[in-house]
Amino acid sequence: MTVFAYSILAAGWLFWVAPFLLFHRKTGTARKIDPRARWGILLIGIAYSALWQAHFWERSPALWQIALELLFFALAAALSWTARRALGKQWRIEAGLNADHELITSGPYRILRHPIYTSMLCTLLGTGVLITPWWLLLISIAAFVAGTEIRVHVEDSLLGSHFGGRFQDYKQNVPAYIPFLR
C-alpha cells in the first residue's frame, strides 16, 4: 500500500507540472513585470518545503489519506491543464502583462480568477495529507496562503490597472482561488 501511495504522489506531481513544462516556450513577452510577487513565490516555496520535513517514510499511510491524495491530485491536474491551456501566452511565472494581454474569463477562469493557485493548493494538500503531520501541514498551509495572497494582490493590481472596470466586475463576481470565498 505504501508503494502505491507514493507512486500516486510522484505521478500526481508529474501530471500537475506537465502543462507548465510542455507549453513553457509559448508565452508572450512581458511589457510590465511586478517584482513584488517574488515574495509570494518565496513563501510558496517555503510552504512546499515544509511538507517534506517529517520522516514520512517511517510510517504507512492510511486508506483515507490515499483517497484524499487521489482526490486532491485529480483536481490539481485538471486545473493545471485547463488553466494553462486557457491562459495561453498570458502565463508566466512572474506577475506581468503582455503588450497584447487579454483578460481570460473562460474555462476554469469562469469559476476562479486564479485557478493555477487552486491547483497548487490541491497539490500541497494532496502531498500534505499523505506525508506531513497535521501541525506541519497547518504551518505549510499558512505559508502557502500568505504567499498566494501576495501574488493574487500583485496580479489583481496589474490586471486592474490594465483592464479597469472590466476587471473590477470580474473580481467582484469570481472568487480568487478558493471556491465560494470572495
pLDDT, tens digit (0-9, with 9 covering 90-100), for 6-37: 999 999 999 999 998 887 666 667 778 888 89
Q: pTM of this prediction? A: 0.93
Ranges of each domain in the chain: 34-173
User: What pLDDT is recorded for position 26?
Assistant: 60
Beta-carbon-side half-sphere exposure of residue 33 (alpha carbons within 13 Å):
9
CA dist 170 and 163 (Å) reads 10
Q: Angle of helix 115-131 relative to helix 63-87, nearest 10 degrees?
A: 160
pLDDT of 3 > 90? The answer is no
The three cell numbers locating residue 36: 513584488
